[in-house]
């Protein structure tokens, strides 16, 4: 199967999950600890874990999210995003959402993804 073009990838414009859930990950993933996630965009949670800045606010929005959710949102650190973001809703970029994806989209007034076909 050919990968979807960026235009067909629903995640490219959506970004609802980046403005819905806490994003916690190991400190080892920070650039200052030898990983790739920019440390300036994260806050410390414990000695071993940290969180993307803004994702624990009453109205969560990751500090790395650029644009408007559901319109033109995108991750400003896509190549360097932490592991939870890489693992979230793995089929969504193909247009197949899961329960967490659907919850995030509903929170922002967007319909759930439907399988193609």
Binding site for ligand SF4 (CB under 6 A): 10-11, 14-18, 23, 52, 62, 64-65, 75, 77, 81, 85, 88-89, 92, 97, 101, 104-105, 113
Name the DSSP letter for residue 92. G
Among residues 108, 24, 9, the alpha carbon closest in space to that of 59 is found at 108
Answer yes or no: are the C-beta atoms of 100 and 106 closer than 8 Å: no
CB of 7 vs ligand SF4, minimal distance in Å: 14
Please identify, using beta-carbon distances, which residue of 16 and 34 lies nearer to ligand SF4: 16
Answer yes or no: are the C-beta atoms of 65 and 73 closer than 8 Å: yes
CB of 86 vs ligand SF4, minimal distance in Å: 8
């Amino acid at each position: 199967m050919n990968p979807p073009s960026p235009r067909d990838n629903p995640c490219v414009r959506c970004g609802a999950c980046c403005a819905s859930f806490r994003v916690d990950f190991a400190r080892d993933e920070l650039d200052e600890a030898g990983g790739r996630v920019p440390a300036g965009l994260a806050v410390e949670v414990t000695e071993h874990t940290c969180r993307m800045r803004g994702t624990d606010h009453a109205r969560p929005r990751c500090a790395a999210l650029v644009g408007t959710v559901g319109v033109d949102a995108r991750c400003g650190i896509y190549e360097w995003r932490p592991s939870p973001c890489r693992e979230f809703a793995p089929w969504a970029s193909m247009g197949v959402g899961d329960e967490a994806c659907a919850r995030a989209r509903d929170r922002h007034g967007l319909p759930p993804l439907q399988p193609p076909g």
